[in-house]
Structure formats: C-alpha cells, structure tokens
Amino acid sequence: MKSAQMSWRWAIAIGLLMLNLVIGLWPMLRPSSAQEPKRFVYKVIDVPGDTHALQTTLNEYGSGGWQLVAVAMGEIQVPRLIFQK
C-alpha cells in the first residue's frame, strides 16, 4: 500500500513539474511573427531658452504622447529637445 501511495505522489509531482515547465516555456513556443519589433517616431524641436516656453513645449508634447529622450544644445541659448513616440 505504501508503494501505491508513493507512486501516486510521484505521478502528481511529475505532472505538476511538467505543467510548470510548459507554462514557463509557453512564450518561447509561440511563433516569432507574433512578436513585432517596436517602432518609434522621433521629433526634434528647438525651443528658446525661456523657461516658460520650454515648460509649455514639454507639456504640449507630453500630453500628445511624446516622451522626451534627449536634450542637446543647438546654440548656446537654444536647447534642442528630442522626443519619441
């Protein structure tokens, strides 16, 4: 009787292990065409060095779904903002 109980326990343990393995590997088993690469659109804006103008531009593009990814200095007083979406 102990042997039968042990074999059931082993069968359940192996079944749970296999289920865990399948669930863990499921994302890799899907076709690769389902995973499209991300595509971004970029926008480069020159903004006068005025703090109010800079803040207004950041808020405007941020509310439109654009994310600021870099700030470069075009001229010494004019920051160049680079957004991506």
Give the tens place of pLDDT for each residue, 4-49. Answer: 655 767 777 677 777 666 777 666 666 666 567 778 999 998 887 7
Average pLDDT score over residue span 45-66: 87
Instruction: pLDDT band for 59, please (50, 70, 90 cuts).
Output: very high
Same domain, 47 and 81: yes
What is the total count of domains within the chain? 2
| Cα–Cα distance, 45 to 58 (Å, whole number) | 10
Same domain, 16 and 29: yes
HSE-CB at 36 with a 13 A cutoff on CA atoms is 3
pLDDT at 66 over 70: yes
Stretch (H or E) spanning 66: none
pLDDT at 64 over 90: yes
pTM score: 0.51
Domain of 85, in residue numbers: 37-85
